[in-house]
Chains A and B, each alone.
Chain A
Amino acid sequence: MSAFANVADERLLIEAAQQDPSRFAELYENNFHRVYAFIARRVGDRAEAEDITAEVFHQALSNIRRFEWRGVPFAAWLLRIAANTVADRWQKAAKSREVNFDVLEEPGIDDEVERRAMLFQLVERLPQDQRLVILRRFVEQKSIREIALEMGRSEGAVKQLQFRALENLRSKVPRSGGEADLPR
C-alpha cells in the first residue's frame, strides 16, 4: 500500500472515529505499540508506562472530535499527548523529589521508538512456545527452571526456545540506528 493510501486511510479512520467513537479501536490498534514504546522509553518502568499509556488513549478518545487533520500523522498527536502526560507526572513528582527534566524532549516518531514499537509488536507474532518463554522470562521475570516446569520441558529446551525467539526478533527488527520499517 502506498504512503498516500496509508495517509488517506488514516484520515478516513479519524473521521469515522470522530463521528462514531466506537471506531476509535482501529486507531488504537494501529498506534498502541508506538505510544507505549514512546512512554516506556521515557519512564523506564513497565507499570508506570502502562498507566500513562492508558491515560493517553483515554484523553485521545475524549478529544478525538477536536482533532483537526492537517496532514500530520495521528501518531504525532498521540505522542504530543503522551509527552504532556509524562511531563505532568514528572512535575507532580518533582514536588517530592528531584527530577531530571533534561530527559524531557520534544515528542517525535524517532527511530528508536519505532524500533521498540516494532519489537513489541513482533513478540505477538512469535510462535506460541517462543512467545510464552519471552513473556515468562522478561515480563514475569521467571527463571528458566520455573518456565521449564510450567511448560513441562527440559531447561535446555527452554533455553533453546529463548535463543530462537530472540534470534527471530533480532532478524526482523532493524538494528539501532538502522532504517525502520513502520509497523502497521
Chain B
Amino acid sequence: MNNAFIYEQLDEAIEAMMANAGASGAAQEASIAELMMVASDLRQLPRPDFKARLKTELKWVAAARPLTPARKAQPANGADVLPSLFGNVYGSYPMRHSNFAASLLLHAAAMVIVLGSTFWWARQQPAQKRAIVDVMPITISESEIVGAIRPHGGGGGGDRDRLNAPNGDLPLPAARQITPPVVVVANDHPHLPVEPTIVAPNLHVPQPEHMGDPLSRLVTPSNGSGVSAGLGSGNGSGVGSGGGPGFGPGSGGGYGGSVFSVGNGVTAPRVIYDPDPEYSPEARAARYQGTVKLWAVIGPDGRTRELRVQQSVGMGLDEKALEAVRKWRFEPATMNGHPVAVQIEVEVGFHLY
C-alpha cells in the first residue's frame, strides 16, 4: 500500500473521529484501526502546560507549609535558623529577600525614631526632683493631752425633740461652759452672744463648721431628745447621752463613753493597715514640707472613730493626712483583754526628697 494513501486514510479516520466523538471507521485496515485506538485515547491528552503549571502551583503551596518539628530539630545551618530570611519554607508565600531587607530597614528606622525621640524628650525636660511623700512612722504615743483625759464623764442634753441630735463637729472645749451647744437656735439675736462650748480638755481643735454629735448618723437639725440643754439624748448641757456639760455618756464633763487613754492597764492600738497619704499638689509645687499631728479615737473595732487635726501645717496636707488616717485600721487597744476605745496622737510627716 502506498504510504501517502495510508497517511491520507489515517487522517480521514481521525478527522471523522474528531468530528463525531465515539465514531470509529467501519472498514479500516487492521494497522489503521490500531493507530485509531491510540488516537482515540489521545483525545484526552492533557494540555502540554497543565502538568508544569500544576507542579508550580503545588510548589508554592508546599513552600507555604512549615517543616515538621523533626526537621526543625536537625542541626541548623543558616537557612534552618531563619527560614523566612533564607526563603526556605515558611510563611504564606515564598520569601523575597528584598522584602525582608526593606522590612528590616523600616523596623530599624522606627526603633531609631522611638529611641531618639525618647532621649530628646528626656533632655528637653527641666531637671525635676522627684517628689516623694514620706510618711513618718506613726507615733502612737501617750499624749500629754490624752493623759489628762479621764474617762470619768461625759455630757448630753437636748430639748425633748423627737429626733436625736444630727451628725456634726463637737463644740469647742473649754474649762467652763457659759452657753450650751444647740443646733436649733431658739434665739437668733441674744443680747450677749457667747460661743457655745462643752467642758472638756482643750485639744486645739479647729472651729466647728456644723455643730452636732460626731457619733450621730442623722442629718436633720435637732437638739435631740434629751432635757436641760445641749445636744443629744442626755440630761445635761453637753453633747451626747450623758448627764454633764461634756461629751458622750457619763457625767461631770470631759469626754465620756469609755474612751480610755493608753497606760494604766490599757494597751496601745497597733496599726495594721496604713496606706500612705498623697502629697497635695499645691504643697508639692511649693516644695512645702511639714508634719501634721492628729488626734484620733480608735474604737474597739480598730476603726478611726474621731479624728481631729491637732497641729496643722496647711497647704492641703492636713486634709491629705486626715483622708489617709481615716482609712487606717488598727488592732484595737485592750484593757483586761477586752478591746476598748482609746485616744491617741498620730504624726504624719510630709517630706520631699
Residues of A within 8 A of B (CB): 18-22, 24-25, 28-29, 32, 36-37, 40-41, 44, 46, 49-50, 53-54, 57-58, 61, 65, 115-116, 119-120, 123, 134-135, 137-139, 141, 143-144, 156, 159-160, 162-163, 166-167, 169-170, 173, 175-176
Contacts and interface: CB of A to CB of B under 8 A. Distances in A.
Contacts of B35: 163, 166-167, 170
A22 B41 CA distance: 32
B127 interface: no
Nearest to B17: A138
B29 to A, nearest CB: 13
Interface in B41-58: 41-48, 50-51, 54-55, 57-58
Interface stretch (B6-14, B180-188, B191-199, B328-336): B6-14
A36 B10 CA distance: 27
B47 A163 contact: no
A159 B9 CA distance: 10
Nearest to B68: A19
Interface of B: 3-4, 6-8, 10-11, 14-15, 18, 34-35, 37-39, 41-48, 50-51, 54-55, 57-59, 61-63, 65, 67-68, 70-71, 89
A19 B46 CA distance: 31
A25 B55 contact: yes
Contacts of B46: 36, 40, 46, 49-50, 53, 120, 139
A138 B68 contact: no
Given A22-B63, A166-B39, A156 B44 contact: no
Contact of A123 (B3, B42, B62, B68): B42
Contacts, number: 119
A138 B39 contact: yes
8 contacts: A20-B89, A22-B89, A32-B55, A41-B44, A57-B58, A156-B4, A156-B7, A166-B10
A141 B21 CA distance: 12
A175 B63 CA distance: 41
B58 A61 contact: yes
Interface centre among A32, A50, A166 (most CB of B within 10 A): A166
A46 B47 contact: yes
A19 B61 CA distance: 15
Nearest to B54: A54
B58 A162 contact: no
A54 B89 contact: no
A166 B38 contact: yes
A41 B46 CA distance: 12
A159 B47 CA distance: 21
Contact of B68 (A18, A25, A36, A160): A18
B276 to A, nearest CB: 60
B45 A24 contact: no
Contacts of B6: 163
Contacts of A173: 38
Given A18-B68, A61-B61, A138 B55 contact: no
